[in-house]
Structures are given as structure tokens and as C-alpha cells.
């Protein structure tokens, strides 16, 4: 999707060497022909609208940036209403506007929290107002003193039966809500997580809908202290978001603003727990983690698109006699650093599509009161979220390095992409929960219970604990069954080792604590197996378009084998492969990189990103990088004057003094 404005296409030669149908790959990437069409239309709509320009964003002050975000959000909403966009179209429009803001939390957490934890009556009351933006909501869980440990939150909601109200209170400084996006300046309401106290008893954390600001003049309501928590990492970047602080001084809300799907407080103050598992309190986090995995492939594919196109344009060395230099994309080191990231972008895309299916499936089962798949959904979302976000953050930084000096310029788009992306590693938690799930499964397998879903492989324990890989030539590694077997054996053996070592500890909790680094590694091995498996399963589907499946097969092999190479220690120490088999995998990787090379630019074109969305002079579709870099430099406010501000006060006196000294 070019919107480069009719410049000569410097990458045409690269595109001509592609050995597959790019349109077919666009469909495989987007999920369907319809998805390609809608995404394309929304991306163009945003790219052609001057209000959504973002090329000078990193030069704005925080206040200007925030106002710009409010403007863009309001304009996006206006376009959504005017054009009567569907939910799918509206979500894509917001994606392509590409500026973090309060709307992300309104749609991404506030609305899902009410949907997941509110009764039907509560949904009927609150959702229509939220859908029309008559109220703006955020998700206020984390506090100054506690983030990961949700049970440690201190905000209280004490029921007062005489008034049929809850009293929301922040008893300590550390109980101040701290971090919620959209809270600082924009939200009128929040879903607040607080300790429910009734009849003198603390029933732990529950969700409450609380109005924070006046709907007339936006001022905080009595007893509510609100503000922004301050500037964050990077210029532009996540500073468009008003992450906020909130304190309550005995603020009263009606009883029916407690989210009551999971448990209720009666008019008399009795606490009643329904038959819904209490873990559904964390349901909004499961939903968001699933979207974060999908976002990982978007961020990673953007970075890779920039690095691949620029590496095809950039030339260094290679000519002894004044002839053309070598494209840096032809260097084997560049390929071995970049192509695994390209393969990862596709791998995360497909696992993200599968995770969305899993989430929908669990949600339907929950509606039918079948809670059996909840633990797996929790483990998969938490684990995949953790693994894909940290790998993506590392990959964006790697892409910056792969673009050399120019990658460090804001106009490359990479510094801002990194700064916006990197908090995804922090918000929404880590991997420990997956490890607990694995340990439970190992224990169940020992009792003869047959695991299902993503842990079904653990049921094959007899074979996987002893099997030796049959790989004998580099090409043997092209067999998906060979790959799957060693990834399953590695994950299972690491989990079983942990379980055996925990059983030697004085208590299970001590064992867990002592072995937590090993548990984390076992969890990562399990999650990598899921990603590899879902890629392999994708390839078993009908994938139309000449050459499309063949390219994806190569990328799947690269994804799996680069992990094998990177974690060779795991595979060797668990005895899954021999050193020679490890070397054969590496040999095949080199051959696969050479096969991907002529397709690299077309493989990133298949992401179908506009130049607006990429936001990078290095990643331009037409490859006309140098004039764009040159032009971009002149937009910097420092270039508004030839002689800089401060010359008279600080440079001139210095220079004059040196003149005097030199005359002495
Ligand atoms: C755009 C970005 C916006 C960002 C927004 C945010 O950051 S918002 C803020 C985001 N904040 C964070 O992300 C905070 C991160 N912190 C966490 O996620 C915490 O680890 C915790 C809240 C899960 C711990 O809770 P705890 O101490 O109460 O629990 P426990 O460990 O004792 O486990 C008890 C049982 O529950 C199970 N279970 C747990 N979770 C789920 C689930 N989601 N589903 C289903 N089940 C779940 C677990 O497996 C265990 O099962 P078992 O073994 O009894 O059968
Ligand atoms: C940009 C951004 C946006 C956010 N948006 C929201 C929002 O909208 N709403 C909201 O409520 N919150 C939000 N948060 C808060 C976020 O969810 C928390 O920061 C996150 O859950 C981590 O908690 P923490 O900051 O308290 O870190 P801590 O829990 O203090 O973690 C510090 C370190 O301790 C480690 N650690 C903690 N517990 C354990 C353990 N049991 N075992 C081993 N290691 C452990 C962590 O891995 C980490 O290395 C946001 C945060 C950021 C950065």
C-alpha cells in the first residue's frame, strides 16, 4: 500500500525478485480477504486526513502532545459517527491513528470490565453511556505500593447499610491509585478495584464503578484528588497518555455500583458469592493480555518492515574499483539478525489469531457456565503476553541497531516505536502463573490424568522423556514433526526437572521460591512450543496464492530453528538433541536465509502498512530514503534559525574570550 506520492520506486528491483503472490500473503497475514480490504480502507482514511498527521509529534511539548491526542481522539470519534463505521472498522481506524490515549483504556479495559463483571442490569445502565462517549472510563487497579500483587491493594470500599452506599477511601499514601491510563486528565469514571468491607469483615478485592469528574465542567468531584503522574520514557511516545494518580477521601457511591456478577452485597450488607469462579475478577486482564499478543506482532512487523526496506536501500563496502557497493541486506550477519525477527512477526501474528479464537471459545463456554478451560486460557494469555512482549521490545531495539546511525534519529520511527512499546513488558504481569499451571499439570499426569489443549503433549510423557531426535542431515530439520518433537521434549523435561527439584524442598512454597528462575525458563520453553506448534498448524490449513505456503514454511523453520540455536543449552542439557544435530540446524538456517533474501521486501510489503502508519523515513514504501532524511532534518525547531537561541548569552562571550586569549 504505497502512499509515497509518486516518487520513483527504488525498491522495484527487490519486489521483482519475489517468488510468491504478495496479495495472497496479505490475506494470510490479515486472516481473510475481507480483513485486508477493511484494514486497507481504514489505513488510507487515516493517512489522507491532515488531523492525523504525526510527523512532528516527537517535537511537541507534553502539553501540546496531550492536546493533540485529545484532538485526534475527538476527530476519530467524529469520523466514526459520520461514516457510521462498524466496530471492526472503528477499531482499525483507532489503530492506524497510532497515538496512545484515553480511548485505549475506555474501549480496551473499562468497557470489557463492565461487560465481564457487571450484571445484566448494570450493563444495560452503563454500557450505552460508554458506547456513546457520554462518559469516559478507565481501569484503576494498580496502586503506588502494589502492582503485581493485586491481593495487596489497600483502597477500601466499606458498606454503610444506613445509607445503602459504599464509602471509597484511600487510607495511606501507598493506596493512591497510580498508573491507570486516561485517569490523569480525561476520564469521568473508573472501574476501581478496592477491598470490600461489610459487616466488619474484609472480603478482598472487588470492582466498583466510581464517578470521578463532573459531567458539567470536568472538575474532580468532592473528596476525589486527581492528577497526571508525570513524564515518561522517550520523546512523544507514551507521553500522549495521561497515566494518573487518584485518591479518595471517604467518597460515597450507591451500592449498585459494585460490579455484582461474581458476588453481591445485599441491602442489609450480607456478602453473597455466586457460583462464578472468583478468578473471573481477573477476566479483564485475560482479555487485555490476548490483545497485547496481537499488538506484539503489529509492533514487531513495523520495526522489521522499516529495517528490511532500509537494509535493501543502504549500501556499504564491497567494491574495490569504484563500482557499486553492497546492499547491507546481502550481508549474512544482517540476514541472521533480521530474518528471525521477520519470521517472529509472522509467528506472533498466527499465535495471536489463535489466541483470539481461544479467548472467544472460553468466553462462550463461560456464558454456558463451563469454567473448565479458564486455567488454560489464563496460563496461555499470561505466558504468551510475557514472551512475545519481551522478545518484541528486544527486536525493535535490534532493528534500530540494524539501521545503523540513521536508526537513532526520531525520523526513523524506531526510537518512538521502542519507547511506546517497551512498557508492554511491564503492564499486565509476568510468567510465574504459567509455571504454576505447568507444575500442576505434571502432578496430574503422574496420577494418570490426560491433559488436553496446549498441554496435551505432556500426556505423551513416556516417549518424550526418553526420545532422541532422529535428525541426520540439515534438511531433516525441515520436517515439522522433527521440530515439534524436540520442542515438546525440551519443554516437558524442563518442567519435570523443576517438579522433581521442588519435591525435594522442605515445602512446596519454598521449592517454588528457590526454583523460580528455573520455573521461568520452563515456562518460556512451554510458551515457545505453543508458538511453534500454532505456526505448524497454520501451515496445515489451505493457504491460497502461488508460493505463499512455501514462504511461510521457510519462515516457520527459521522461527523454530533460530530458537533452537539461541537456547541450544536447554536442548543439549535435557538431552533432546546432540551437538551435531544443533550444528545441522544452524547449517540449515544459513540456507534458509539465502532463500528468504529475494523475498524479504515482498514479505514486509505483505503487512500492507501505509507510510503514515510506519512513520519512518527509512521504511518508506518507495525507498526514497535520502531526500526524505534530508528534508526531515530541516523540520526540527533547532533549524528554525540559522544562529541558535543562546548564541548571544553563551556562545559569543566564550568565543570572544578565546579570541582575547589567543591575542595574548
Ligand atoms: C494498554 C495497557 C493498559 C494496562 C493496564 C494494566 O496494566 S491493568 C493492571 C494489570 N495488573 C496486572 O497485570 C497484575 C499482575 N498480577 C497478576 O496477574 C497476579 O499474579 C495475580 C493477580 C494473578 C495474582 O493473583 P492472586 O494472588 O489472587 O492469585 P494466585 O497467584 O494465588 O492465583 C490464584 C488462582 O487464580 C488463578 N488465576 C490467576 N489469575 C487468573 C486469571 N487471570 N484468570 C484465571 N485464573 C487466574 C491462578 O492460576 C490460581 O489458580 P489455582 O492455582 O488456585 O488453581
Ligand atoms: C505504561 C503503563 C500503563 C499502565 N496502565 C495501567 C492501567 O491502565 N491500569 C492499572 O491499574 N495499571 C496500569 N499499569 C500498571 C501495571 O499494571 C503495573 O506496573 C504492573 O502490573 C507491574 O506492577 P508494579 O509496577 O507494581 O511492579 P512490581 O510488582 O513492583 O515489580 C517490580 C519487579 O518485581 C518483580 N516481581 C514482582 N512480584 C514478583 C513475584 N511474585 N515473583 C518474582 N518477581 C516479582 C517484577 O517481575 C519486577 O521485576 C500501567 C503501567 C505502565 C508502565
Residue 142 Cβ inside 6 Å of ligand 2? The answer reads: yes
Compute φ and ψ for 204, nearest 5 degrees. Answer: 85, -165
| Three-state secondary structure of 404-463 | HHHHHCHHHCHHHHHHHHHHHHCCCCCCHHHHHHHHHHHHHHHCCCCCCHHHHHHHHHHH
Atom of ligand 1 at shortest distance to CA of 108? Answer: 1
How far apart (Å, rounded) are the C-alpha atoms in residues 281 and 258?
Answer: 12
ipTM value:
0.97
Contact present, 558 and 591 (Cβ < 8 Å):
no
569: nearest Cα among 465, 494, 514, 478: 494
319 burial class (0-12, 13-18, 19+ CB within 10 angstroms)? exposed
Give me ligand 1 centre to Cα 378, in Å.
8
For residue range 565-600, list pLDDT tens digits in order. Answer: 999 999 999 999 999 999 999 999 999 999 999 999
> Maximum CA pair distance of the chain?
94
H/E stretch holding 253: strand 251-254
Instruction: Give the SS3 label for residue 182.
Output: coil
Per-residue DSSP letters for 310-362?
HHHH-EES--SSS---EEGGGSHHHHHHHHHHHHHHHHHHHHHHHHHHHHHHH
Residue 147 Cβ inside 6 Å of ligand 2? The answer reads: yes
Question: What is the sign, positive or negative, of the torsion defined by CA atoms of 126, 127, 129, 134?
Answer: positive
Report the pLDDT value the prediction gives residue 430, as an integer from 0 to 100.
63
Atom of ligand 2 at shortest distance to CA of 140? Answer: 11
Per-residue DSSP letters for 51-75?
GG--TTGGGS-HHHHHHHHHHHHHH
How far apart (Å, rounded) are the C-alpha atoms in residues 196 and 202?
Answer: 6
How far apart (Å, rounded) are the C-alpha atoms in residues 331 and 307?
Answer: 14
Q: Which residues of the chain have pLDDT under 70?
A: 1-8, 430-432, 658-664
Report the pLDDT value the prediction gives residue 435, as an integer from 0 to 100.
93
Instruction: Give the SS3 label for residue 193.
Output: strand
Report the pLDDT value the prediction gives residue 291, as an integer from 0 to 100.
96
H/E stretch holding 509: helix 508-514
Report the pLDDT value the prediction gives residue 644, as an integer from 0 to 100.
95
Residue nearest atom 14 of ligand 1, based on CA coordinates: 148
Q: Which long-range contacts (CB under 8 A, 24 or more apart) does 221-224 make?
A: 221/251, 222/251, 223/248, 223/249, 223/250, 223/251, 224/248, 224/249, 224/251
User: Residues 428, 485, 488, 521: which is the catalytic one?
Assistant: 428
For residue range 494-503, list pLDDT tens digits in order. Answer: 999 999 999 9
Q: Distance of CA 192 to CAs 75, 264, 414, Å?
A: 28, 16, 35
With the most atoms of ligand 1 within 8 angstroms of its CB, the residue from 246, 372, 378 to mutate is 378
Report the pLDDT value the prediction gives residue 659, as an integer from 0 to 100.
64
Residue 102 Cβ inside 6 Å of ligand 1? The answer reads: no
Burial 589-601 (b: 16+ CB within 10 A, else e): beebbeebbebbb
Alpha helices in 598-651 (DSSP H): 600-605, 611-614, 625-633
Contact present, 129 and 118 (Cβ < 8 Å):
no
From the CA of 101, the nearest ligand is: 1
The answer to whether 428 is a known catalytic residue is yes
| Three-state secondary structure of 577-612 | CCHHHHHHHHHHHHHHHHHHHHHHHHHHHCCCCCHH
Contact present, 434 and 522 (Cβ < 8 Å):
no
Amino acid at each position: 500500500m504505497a502512499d509515497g506520492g509518486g516518487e520513483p520506486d527504488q525498491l522495484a528491483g527487490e519486489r521483482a525478485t519475489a517468488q510468491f503472490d504478495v496479495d495472497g500473503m496479505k490475506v494470510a497475514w490479515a486472516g481473510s480477504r475481507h480483513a485486508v480490504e477493511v484494514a486497507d480502507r481504514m489505513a488510507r482514511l487515516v493517512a489522507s486526513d491532515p488531523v492525523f498527521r504525526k510527523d512532528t509529534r516527537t517535537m511537541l511539548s507534553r502539553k501540546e502532545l496531550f492536546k493533540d491526542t485529545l484532538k485526534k481522539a475527538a476527530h476519530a470519534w467524529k469520523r466514526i459517527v459520520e461514516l457510521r463505521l462498524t466496530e471492526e472498522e472503528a477499531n482499525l481506524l483507532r489503530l492506524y491513528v497510532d497515538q496512545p490515549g484515553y480511548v485505549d483504556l475506555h474501549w480496551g479495559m473499562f468497557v470489557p470490565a463492565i461487560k465481564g463483571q457487571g450484571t445484566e442490569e448494570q450493563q444495560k445502565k452503563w454500557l450505552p453511556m460508554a458506547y456513546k462517549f457520554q462518559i469516559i472510563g478507565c481501569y484503576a487497579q494498580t496502586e503506588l505500593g502494589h502492582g503485581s500483587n493485586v491481593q495487596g491493594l489497600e483502597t477500601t470500599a466499606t458498606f454503610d447499610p444506613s445509607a445503602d452506599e459504599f464509602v471509597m477511601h484511600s487510607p495511606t499514601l501507598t493506596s493512591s491509585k497510580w498508573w491507570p491510563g486516561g485517569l490523569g486528565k480525561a476520564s469521568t469514571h473508573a472501574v476501581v478495584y478496592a477491598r470490600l468491607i461489610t459487616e466488619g469483615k474484609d472480603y478482598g478485592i472487588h470492582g466498583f464503578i466510581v464517578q470521578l469528574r463532573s459531567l458539567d465542567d470536568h472538575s474532580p468531584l468532592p473528596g476525589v484528588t486527581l492528577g497526571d503522574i508525570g513524564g515518561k520514557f522517550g520523546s512523544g511516545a507514551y507521553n500522549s497518555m495521561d497515566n494518573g494518580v487518584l485518591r479518595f477521601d471517604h467518597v460515597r457511591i450507591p451500592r449498585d455500583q459494585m460490579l455484582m456478577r461474581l458476588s453481591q452485597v445485599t441491602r442489609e450488607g450480607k456478602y453473597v458469592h455466586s457460583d462464578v469462579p472468583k478468578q473471573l475478577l481477573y477476566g479483564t486482564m485475560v482479555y487485555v493480555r490476548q490483545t497485547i499478543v496481537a499488538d506484539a506482532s503489529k509492533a514487531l512487523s513495523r520495526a522489521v518492515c522499516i529495517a528490511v526496506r532500509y537494509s535493501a536501500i543502504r549500501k556499504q563496502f564491497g567494491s574495490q574499483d569504484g563500482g557499486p557497493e553492497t546492499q547491507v541486506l546481502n550481508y549474512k550477519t544482517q540476514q541472521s539478525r533480521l530474518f528471525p525477527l521477520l519470521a517472529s512477526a509472522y509467528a506472533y501474528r498466527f499465535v495471536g489469531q489463535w489466541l483470539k479464537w481461544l479467548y472467544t471459545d472460553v468466553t462462550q463456554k463461560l456464558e454456558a457456565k463451563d469454567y473448565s478451560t479458564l486455567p488454560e486460557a489464563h496460563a496461555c494469555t499470561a505466558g504468551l503476553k510475557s514472551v512475545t512482549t519481551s522478545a518484541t521490545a528486544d527486536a525493535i531495539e535490534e532493528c534500530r541497531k540494524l539501521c545503523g546511525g540513521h536508526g537513532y534519529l526520531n525520523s526513523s520511527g524506531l526510537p518512538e516505536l521502542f519507547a511506546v512499546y517497551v512498557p508492554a513488558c511491564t503492564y499486565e504481569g509476568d510468567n510465574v502463573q504459567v509455571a504454576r499451571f505447568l507444575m500442576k499439570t505434571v502432578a496430574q499426569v503422574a496420577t494418570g490424568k490426560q491433559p488436553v489443549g496446549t498441554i496435551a503433549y505432556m500426556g505423551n510423557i513416556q516417549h518424550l522423556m526418553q526420545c532422541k531426535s532422529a535428525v541426520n542431515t540439515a534438511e531433516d530439520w525441515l520436517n515439522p514433526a522433527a521440530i515439534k518433537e524436540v520442542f515438546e521434549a525440551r519443554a516437558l523435561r524442563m518442567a519435570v526437572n523443576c517438579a522433581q527439584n521442588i519435591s525435594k524442598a522442605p515445602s512446596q512454597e519454598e521449592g517454588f521460591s528457590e526454583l523460580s528462575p528455573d520455573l521461568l525458563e520452563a515456562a518460556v520453553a512451554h510458551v515457545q512450543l505453543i508458538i511453534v506448534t500454532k505456526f505448524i498448524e497454520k501451515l496445515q490449513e489451505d493457504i491460497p496464492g502461488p508460493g505463499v505456503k512455501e514462504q511461510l514454511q521457510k519462515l516457520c523453520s527459521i522461527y523454530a530453528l533460530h530458537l533452537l540455536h539461541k537456547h541450544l543449552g536447554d536442548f543439549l542439557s535435557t538431552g533432546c538433541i546432540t551437538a551435531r544435530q544443533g550444528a545441522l540446524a544452524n547449517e540449515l538456517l544459513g540456507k534458509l536465509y539465502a532463500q528468504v533474501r529475494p523475498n524479504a521486501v515482498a514479505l514486509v510489503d505483505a503487512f500492507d502498512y501505509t507510510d503514515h502508519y510506519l512513520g519512518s523515513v527509512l521504511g518508506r514504501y518507495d525507498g526514497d530514503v535520502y531526500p526524505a532524511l534530508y528534508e526531515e532534518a530541516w523540520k526540527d525547531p533547532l533549524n528554525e534559525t540559522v544562529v541558535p537561541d543562546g548564541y548571544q548569552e553563551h556562545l559569543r562571550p566564550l568565543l570572544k574570550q578565546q579570541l582575547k586569549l589567543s591575542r595574548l
